[in-house]
Amino acid sequence: MKKTQYMIGLFFLGILLFTVSVGMNIAYADGEEGEEEEEKSKVEEKEENPKDADEDGVDDDFEEKNKRYVDIWFGEGVVEIASIKRSDDQKDIMDLRIGYSECGLDIRVSFRTIRKVNCEEEESVQDEDESGLEIAGGDGDEDTCEEWIHELKLNFEVKFPALIEYVDLNDNGIFEHENDTAIEDYGINSFQDVIYERINISTDSFLHYFLINTTDGVFAAHIYFPEEFIILDGNIVAPTQIKIDIEITDYDYIEEDSQLALLAKLFSEDFYEEKEETEDEKAGKATNEKEIFTDNEGYTGIFSWKETAMIDGVEMPVLTNKLELEKEEDKIQRLLFNYPRGNHIYHDPKIGIVLGEISSSEFPMIIIGPIAGVAGLSVIAIGVFISKKKIR
């Protein structure tokens, strides 16, 4: 019996070695000739089935369906942005309000769906305006008597009011009121005029860039808002999200051994919850991210950030405190981004709405294929190991 088990183990081991050998031969056969054939095959496949012409990892049909029109209005200390989905009768509108004043930098996001109704449906919802439904005036068709109905789905806000200089007495890299010494509260409260630039992404869509800088130039926010999916700094940004690069330059430290924390205040109708792995990480579109989210009726608003920042040109970890409640009645929560000490700090959070699952012809082949292969080989290897163990 033992001899039989041993022979079975050797049999599976032989299959494993044979499979690996064949795979390597297929991958590397004929050297440069094999590489040329592979490149030729990729070109032919792309010509026959151009699913990702702009090579951003997002299926072109899905990307086209989710492109948006963007309208921008500039006011005193405020930028108002309206973004509407271009396709389908079932549209949605994302409203962004970027405010900068003595209270800090404030980003407010509202998301609502809109749908067409006929006159009978319109009459049935006339009394529902105060509960989140709004009838859009002037958009109807007089012949067919149709109107657009707006329904608010999400409303949330992120505010950056201050930097905190502190001495980390317990050396855990996080500012804690009860354990550490606060040195200075630097208010983010005086700003230069906003700088705006519109950058072409494709023939029919743009990337909107805003620079909001404090008067002394210590704190700056580089804000990017695309009309279609785009890769920025190696991470994909959806057309319902804004990327914010936080830049802190030449902060005048008071103590020689202190460091900085950026305070963020968060508001939503429902409390934010923390998530260790972001949706973009799950999809293989980002790495080393963390996020908090708020949702309503299946619509999800996110505030995410990379868990590292560039400190004087060196990538270093960013630690955050656990979410803590500031005002329960207003549902305001606090979050601190703790940065290693440096003269130039560069970090990139992201705010917005999560779209449906991103369809891509490229990522599943890259990620899922190798995982499945490793899993299969692992099963065979475990079988051999168990057989040997029983023999012993």
Write the DSSP assignment of 277-294 as a string of letters.
S-HHHHTTS-SSEEEEEE
pLDDT range class, residue 356, cuts 50, 70, 90: low
Looking up tokens 């921008």, which residue turns up?
72
pLDDT of residue 367: 28
In the chain, % of residues over pLDDT 70: 68
Residue 209 near residue 224 (C-beta atoms within 8 A): yes
104 contacts 187 by C-beta, under 8 angstroms = yes
* Mean pLDDT, rounded, for 96-107: 96
In the chain, where the domains are located: 2-49+380-391, 62-135+150-353
pLDDT at 374: 33
Residue 9 has pLDDT above 60, yes or no: no
Give the mean model confidence (pLDDT) for residues 28-42. Answer: 52
Provide mean pLDDT across the span 1-17. Answer: 50
| Closest to 173 (Cα-Cα) out of 276, 247, 302, 260 | 260
Confidence band (pLDDT; 50, 70, 90) for 379? very low
Please give the pLDDT value at position 55: 72
Q: What's the confidence (pLDDT) of residue 20?
A: 44
Decide if 164 contacts 263 (C-beta within 8 A).
yes
In this predicted structure, the answer to whether residue 31 has a pLDDT above a threshold of 60 is: no
Which of 83-97, 131-145, 171-185, 277-291 ranks highest by mean pLDDT? 171-185
Residues 316, 317, 321, 322, Cα dihedral to 10°: 160
Is 50 exceeded by the pLDDT of residue 362? no
In this structure, of 57-66, 180-189, 276-285, the range with the lowest mean pLDDT score is 276-285
Q: Is the pLDDT of residue 193 over 50?
A: yes
Residue 123 is predicted with a pLDDT of 53
Show the tokens assigned to 334.
């606090």
CA dist 352 and 156 (Å) reads: 9
| Banded pLDDT at 26 (limits 50, 70, 90) | very low
Q: What's the pLDDT score for residue 372?
A: 35
Q: How far is CA 217 from CA 102, 107, 165, 223, in A?
A: 15, 20, 17, 16
Task: Give residue-wise pLDDT tens across range 221-279.
Answer: 999 999 999 998 878 899 999 999 999 999 999 999 999 999 999 999 888 988 877 76
Q: Give Dmax over CA atoms of the chain in angstroms.
A: 87
What's the whole-number mean pLDDT along residues 183-187? 95
pLDDT band at 41 (very low <50, low <70, confident <90, very high): low
| pLDDT surpassing 70 at residue 140 | no
Question: Tokens 């023939």, residue?
Answer: 203
Closest of 215, 210, 165, 211 to residue 189, by C-alpha: 215
Confidence (pTM): 0.72
Please answer whether residues 340 and 311 qualify as being in contact, where contact means their C-beta atoms are separated by less than 8 angstroms. yes
- Identify residue 27 by its one-letter amino acid code: A
Residue 287: pLDDT band with limits 50, 70, 90: confident
Contact between residue 187 and residue 162 where contact means Cβ atoms under 8 Å apart: yes
Query: Residue 357 has what DSSP assignment?
Result: P
Confidence of residue 16 (pLDDT cuts 50, 70, 90): very low
Among 3-7, 189-193, 264-268, 278-282, the minimum mean pLDDT is found in 3-7
Q: Which of 148-152, 204-208, 286-290, 357-361 has the lowest mean pLDDT?
A: 357-361
**Adjacent-strand bridge partners of 108:** 97, 157
Per-residue pLDDT at 326: 87
**Helix H or strand E encompassing 40:** helix 32-48
> Are 248 and 186 contacting, i.e. CB atoms less than 8 angstroms apart?
no
Instruction: Report which residue type is found at 265.
Output: K
The pLDDT assigned to 160 comes to 98
Which H or E run contains 95? strand 91-101
